[in-house]
A and B are shown apart, each in its own frame.
Chain A
């Protein structure tokens, strides 16, 4: 209701002024929670303004505000000292694959001029753009090549914030607006997926991403509803050790939530962490030895086999899931897991339901074949 009044008021105002486009008067802001267009993500908020959007990005205790205005409107007087992002964005550098993958999905990848760590992606379209020089690789997140970045003249740099790492000099040097993108902090799968809305706004295609997201929510919730009544939950654990160190997802993490929503019993579900846990091999054995399923991500170029894994670590055969060949493996190279799966939580969920409770995949999920996590047969 308030919104309608505002629009009416501004319409009257516009009629009374001679030049609509050069309207310079103040606009009112309303950041009432009820107006927030974000429903699952906890680290950003979107508020509609008369002539654009206000985007609030939260990272731990800090909060940054951005005013997203179409490049056809002039900046209102009361926003001149704020951070303005003109939409649609013409050139951006995206530090994370979870950022550029949305540009790609929206058909706006030509707006992305630079990315980091292109050698880690298996996305052939991106690799080709890098090879053709349409996209420049500007280094690693631990070692950004400032010169290449300055040389790209981006309007916007989408970066992943880390504690203690200051990227602000890159914005100062290149003249670009720095947009923090802490999507990895979201612990709800739908919250992570919702970050597509930020890129949608930047591309001026918010209707598209809103529609996508609403569909994802609908599918995800109908699936998780079905699983919520399940009594008999298979136990599951996750990840291989890296250099003999076991890092496993915390009990309140995004992965743990998907396990739970898929009717699985994650063995570290009681843990309170939303990040990753460092656990010694003995404790892993103790808790996970009898688990029914083992979720594993394969970032290598060659496919896993039980034989190969056994050679790698002689502890593996001690696990029941290994002996009974219940490894659920995601081949990163084949699936584009790191850039894409975040925006398909419904598919991820369906993947695990397929393995945990195949009988629940009915109606639109009939004859579903897993996309990311497939059972390793041999």
Chain B
């Protein structure tokens, strides 16, 4: 019972930390904005229009994107780890991120090669084009994985298949890059670094709604995820349709990853590290607690990464991918060592 009390105190502390990090996100950036100015902007008082633009049109959508992306990737990672009962499972491992990358490579590089219809000429469609291509690539890999999952009972085999699909998509991407003009690789480089600023106010509504749907769906999976912890045979005996359930979990997880990857690029390690961090913080395997807390911790770490990426001292923004890997990789190593 004391554990519950501890968890509630941790939860409250974490929520406060989250609010603090959100405010720091609005406060920190290349352009120094005093706290009083930020306060004025947030209260809707008359203020310097530049400050208002930077805070409301640039930093705010970026912070909100960070929150949604962090929650989505972390939950996707949790679902995969429970489904595969493998601490190293995450959606990128199943090749979903690589699939998205291949989609982007195809649309960017092919349109470049074909000329005539280059993406950036499509105005608003160009970013949407990249997102759609990433989503299509991710969905394609997802479908492949689902196809295999109905044939393959063994989860480890499925992970190996996922890894191989991942390599395949990666090598196809490299081949496409090889045959492209130097100038066309530009967009791919930008996409590959990952960024929370690409969503922007205009697409934020769609982005957040799609992710919210996926997050809701994952909340409904809590009970089934708990049963899955016992193993497939026990789960089946307890009345769970294991195969159908696996498909749902892969779908939700893949859907969340595909959306985030489409808009923000392949963001590594959040999906892998956050579920481990959450389990260690709350010392539980109960998904009724884990699913919402993983979302919360995911949001917070994502906000933290975004702050680090935009530290005023660092001229120009660091790619978000570098920061998430820097924070995520040691966490994963620590978890694996502690597990022994």
A 105-141 to B, binary, CB cutoff 8 A, 1 in contact else 0: 0000000000000000000000000000000010111
Q: Is the CB of B186 within 8 A of A153?
A: no
Contact of A165 with B316 in the complex, beta carbons under 8 Å: no
Is B316's CB under 8 angstroms from A139's CB?
Answer: yes
- Is residue B4 contacting chain A, with contact meaning CB distance below 8 A? no
Known: A153-B50, A168-B124. A143 touches B190 (CB 8 A): yes
Q: Which of B30, B178, B182, B187 contacts A164 (CB 8 A)?
A: B187
Most chain A CB neighbours (cut-off 10 Å) among B57, B104, B200, B316? B316
Residue among A60, A137, A164 facing the most chain B CB atoms (10 A cut-off): A164
Closest to A138 in B: B316
Q: Is the interface of B mostly helix, strand, loop or mixed?
A: helix
Residues of B within 8 A of A143 (CB): 190, 193, 195, 316-317, 319
Q: Is the CB of A60 within 8 A of B117?
A: yes
Scan B21-62; emit 1 where CB is below 8 A from any A CB, else 0: 000000001110000000000000000001001100111000
**A364 adjacent to chain B (CB < 8 Å):** no
Instruction: Tell me, yes or no, whether A32 is within 8 Å of chain B by CB.
Output: no
Query: Please, could you name 26 A-B residue pairs with CB atoms under 8 Å apart, sorted by A?
Result: A59-B120, A61-B115, A61-B116, A61-B121, A62-B118, A62-B120, A62-B122, A62-B123, A139-B315, A142-B190, A143-B193, A146-B197, A148-B31, A150-B31, A150-B50, A150-B58, A151-B31, A161-B121, A162-B187, A165-B187, A166-B119, A173-B58, A247-B182, A273-B181, A275-B181, A275-B182
A174–B130 alpha-carbon span in the complex (Å): 23
B108 interface contact, C-beta 8 A: yes
Number of residues in B with C-beta < 8 Å to the partner? 48
CB distance from A336 to the nearest CB of B (A): 22
Q: How long is the Cα–Cα vector from A259 to B317 in the complex, in angstroms?
A: 40
Partner of B190, one of A161, A165, A275, A278: A165
Is there an interface contact between A164 and B183, defined as CB atoms closer than 8 Å? no
| B7 within 8 A of partner (CB) | no
Q: Which of A141, A163, A184, A273 contacts B120 (CB 8 A)?
A: A163
Are A147 and B30 in contact, with the CB atoms below 8 A? yes
Residues on B with beta carbons closer than 8 Å to the beta carbon of A163: 108, 111-112, 118-120, 183-184, 186-187
A173 touches B120 (CB 8 A): no
Chain B residue at minimum C-beta to C-beta distance from A161: B120
Known: A59-B118, A164-B184. A147 touches B58 (CB 8 A): yes
What residues of chain A lie closer than 8 Å to B130, measured between beta carbons?
164
A271 at the interface (CB under 8 A from B): no
Are A60's CB and B118's CB within 8 A? yes
Question: Which 4 A-B residue pairs are closest in the complex by CB-CB distance?
Answer: A164-B187, A62-B121, A164-B108, A139-B316
Contact of A173 among B30, B57, B121, B188 (CB under 8 A): B57
Determine the residue in chain B with the shortest Cβ distance to A153.
Answer: B50
Interface string of B121-152 (1 = CB under 8 A from A): 11110110110000000000000000000000
Judge whether B305 is part of the interface by a CB distance below 8 angstroms.
Answer: no
The answer, yes or no, to whether A228 is at the interface (CB within 8 Å) is no
B188 touches A60 (CB 8 A): no
A165 near B120 with CB under 8 A, answer: yes
Residue on B with the closest CB to A144? B316
Whether, in the assembled complex, A276 has its beta carbon less than 8 Å from a beta carbon of chain B, the answer is yes
Is the beta-carbon distance between B182 and A276 smaller than 8 angstroms? yes
Nearest B residue to A168 via CB reads B123
- Which residue of chain B has the shortest Cβ distance to A184 in the bound complex? B183
A273 to B181 Cα, complex, angstroms: 10
